[in-house]
Amino acid sequence: MSSSASKKAVVLLSGGLDSATALAIASDRGYQCYVMSFDYGQRSLTELNAAKQIAQQQGALEHKVIRLHLEDFGGSALTDHSIDVPEEETDEIPVTYVPARNTVFLSLALGWAEVLEADAIFIGVNAVDYSGYPDCRPEYIAAFETMANLATKRGVTGDPIKIETPLIDLTKEQIIQEGTRLGVDYGLTVSCYQADDEGRACGNCDSCRLRAQGFADSGLSDPTRYQ
């Protein structure tokens, strides 16, 4: 375990509301934050521009953007342009689910965490307003953490890496309230699955609806720019 004065964390940052809040919480808990974002062939690249601004605004020590070609597999409305982003609610796992996305992201974060000798990886997954994605559930995170500490030098030498999910039990309203308390500029964040080239939201997709409801419930003004 590194000393509390220099404890490090790798923070996964998409450029959206949840991950920006997770980064603020990691900083607030005293971690030096090393931020990792992914260009994975997703429909909206403006979220990566947002991630760069958020990492800078929140004082991240380093920000890596890793290129992955998940569009080579497709299978998700976010990576395959032949699949429309749904604008109605569903009780099933939605087509915006990207196969194995969080497993891929966390595995790469784990590699960087080992190199940095970081104590934790922060990910902004949420099991309340989580759209039904299987890789946002507490059981999944617990299983990944177990695997991570079986698979790494740190884990087998008795210095395990913790997967931190500070938002897992929070509603969108609570996430927004906590981020606002910590000074997150939500005007920089992009949550929309199909934002335009200027980062303006569609207002209709699942992610937009959850975000708008969160701001309405929190009683705070919504800084989202719409098309």
Q: Which two tokens stand for residue 37?
A: 């974002």
Mean pLDDT, residues 34-39: 96
pLDDT, mean of residues 199-219: 93
The sign of the CA dihedral 66, 111, 13, 58 is negative
Average pLDDT over residues 30-43: 89
Are 169 and 127 spatial neighbours (Cβ–Cβ below 8 Å)? yes
DSSP at 159: -
Q: Alpha-carbon distance 51 to 13, whole Å?
A: 6
| Residue 41: predicted pLDDT | 73
The pLDDT of residue 127:
85
Give me the pLDDT at residue 93, please.
Answer: 77
Phi, psi of 55 (to 5 degrees): -60, -40
Question: Of 25-29, 41-45, 83-87, 127-131, which one has max mean pLDDT?
Answer: 25-29
> For residue 205, what are the contacts with CB-CB under 8 A and spacing of at least 6?
85, 86, 87, 96, 192, 193, 194
Distance CA 122, CA 113 (A): 11
Range of 28-32, 39-43, 65-69 with top mean pLDDT: 28-32
- What is the average per-residue pLDDT within 175-179? 97
| Beta-strand runs (E) in the chain | 8-12, 32-39, 62-67, 120-122, 162-164
The answer on pLDDT for 130 being more than 60 is no
Contact residues for 149 (Cβ-Cβ < 8 A; gap 6+): 155, 156, 160, 161
pLDDT band of residue 96 (cuts 50, 70, 90) is low
- Among 81-85, 110-114, 177-181, 197-201, name the one with the lowest average pLDDT: 81-85
What confidence tens digit (pLDDT) does each residue in 53-95 have? 999 999 999 999 999 887 777 667 666 667 777 776 766 777 6
Is the pLDDT at 202 greater than 90, yes or no?
Answer: yes
| pLDDT, average across residues 120-139 | 85
Tens digits of residue pLDDT in 10-28: 999 999 999 999 999 999 9
Residue 4 has pLDDT above 70, yes or no: no
Q: Distance between CA 165 and CA 135 in Å, rounded?
A: 12
State the pLDDT confidence band at 3, using cuts at 50, 70 and 90: very low
Domains with residue ranges and CATH for the chain: 4-218 (3.40.50.620)
**Are 99 and 135 a contacting pair, CB within 8 Å?**
no
Average pLDDT in the chain? 89
